Amino acid sequence: MKLLEGKTAIITGSARGIGRAIAVYFAQHGANVAGTDLVYDDNCRALEQELSSYGVKAKMYASDASDMAACEKLIDNVVADFGTIDILVNNAGITRDQLLMRMTEEQWDLVIKVNLKSVFTMTKAVQRIMLKQKSGSIINMSSVVGVGGNAGQANYAASKAGMIGFTKSIAKELGSRNIRCNAIAPGFIITEMTGQLPEDVVKGWYEKIPLRRGGQPEEVAKVALFLASDLASYVNGQVIGVCGGMQT
Ligand code: NAD
């Protein structure tokens, strides 16, 4: 029996990077996958094909995770297509790094909207489905900088710290309905997001990581699989680091 056999997962921002790796991992373990990203492009088409090759139902939707009305419409569409939603992964996220001195109001607002408001809009839209079926697993993609902060990332760190407060509150609010909510705090993971960083910055990060390397998206996906599955049936309201020991 596969770990997520018969379950349906919705994963935001899954056209690439960590979200994509989670979609693939979930499908390999039997989950039907509804993925989202800002646009439906060739990446989405290729992912749908790859996921379907594992014998599960897979569909990508173009939807802005930070737009309440879009999320409600998305959830209606996913329920119409898949019948139910058992797992929500709030993965969509962006950076707009800048020292506070130079950070604009737009950079602050956008990061808070995409990273933090999206967790509210998606969870609010999905909760009615999970409440009705009296089960669910919600996984929020936070970051080590949400726990420890980072110079030049005040907006991003604040959004990721906010996700942790949200996670712990929802764990307490929905736990009695058998809905679990946990956060993952990845460290330095090799994706297009970190691909924008200069080589010397990357080298600096690696020196701070006891395992002396960046993580692969699949290494985050493995923890998401654990949290999504019944292996984590008594894990609720936790923040799990996936950072090679960068933060202990
Ligand atoms: P990525 O930039 O490679 O992928 C993010 C995806 O989210 C993209 O496909 C993007 O189009 C999508 N997206 C952006 N805004 C969206 C929106 N409003 N609605 C729907 N989709 C949207 O990033 P990644 O490295 O794969 O990161 C995934 C998550 O993990 C993010 O939340 C990020 O903050 C978090 N994270 C990443 C790292 C890392 O080192 N890469 C570390 C800690 C946390």
Residues catalogued as catalytic: 156
User: Which residue has its alpha carbon closest to ligand 1 atom 7?
Assistant: 13
Pocket test for ligand 1, best of 10, 14, 18 (most atoms within 8 A of CB): 18
For the stretch 143-149, contacts whose Cβ atoms lie closer than 8 Å and that sit 24 or more positions apart, written own/partner, are 143/185, 143/186, 144/185, 144/186, 144/187, 144/241, 144/243, 144/246, 144/247, 146/185, 147/185, 147/239, 147/241, 147/247, 148/247
Strand pairing report for 32-37 and 87-90: unpaired
Distance 19 CA to ligand 1 centre (A): 7
3-state secondary structure at position 28: helix
Res 198: pLDDT: 92
Taking the CA of residue 215 as reference, the ligand 1 atom at the shortest distance is: 40
Establish whether residue 193 lines the binding site of ligand 1, counting it when its CB lies within 6 angstroms of any ligand atom.
yes
Q: Write the CA distances from 29 to 6, 173, 223, 246, integer angstroms.
A: 10, 29, 13, 29
d(CA 46, CA 39): 14
Run means of pLDDT, 10 residues per run, the chain, 248 residues: 96 98 98 98 98 98 98 98 98 98 98 99 98 98 98 98 99 98 98 92 94 98 98 98 97
Q: Residue ranges of the domains in the chain?
A: 8-240
Ligand 1: residue of 36, 94, 117, 147 to mutate (most ligand atoms within 8 A of CB) is 94
pLDDT computed for residue 1 by the predictor: 78
pLDDT at 196: 87
Q: How many CB atoms lie within 10 A of CB 210?
A: 10
Ligand 1 atom index nearest CA of 95? 34
CA distances from 227 to 58, 81, 166, 237 (A): 21, 24, 17, 11
Give the class (CATH, top level) of 8-240: alpha beta
Is residue 47 a contact partner of residue 22, using CB atoms and an 8 Å limit?
no
223 lines ligand 1 (CB under 6 A): no
The helix (H) or strand (E) run that includes residue 181 is strand 179-186
Ligand 1: atom nearest CA of 186 is: 43
Alpha carbon 83 to chain centroid distance?
A: 22
H or E, element range at 26 = helix 17-28
What type of residue is 244?
G
CA of 132 to the centre of ligand 1 (A): 30
Confidence at residue 145, expressed as pLDDT on a 0 to 100 scale? 98
Burial letters 169-179, b for 16+ CB under 10 A, else e:
ebbeebeeeeb
pLDDT at 133: 97
From the CA of 102, how far away is ligand 1's center (Å)? 23
One-letter amino acid at 59 equals K
**Cα four-point dihedral sign 136, 20, 93, 224:** positive
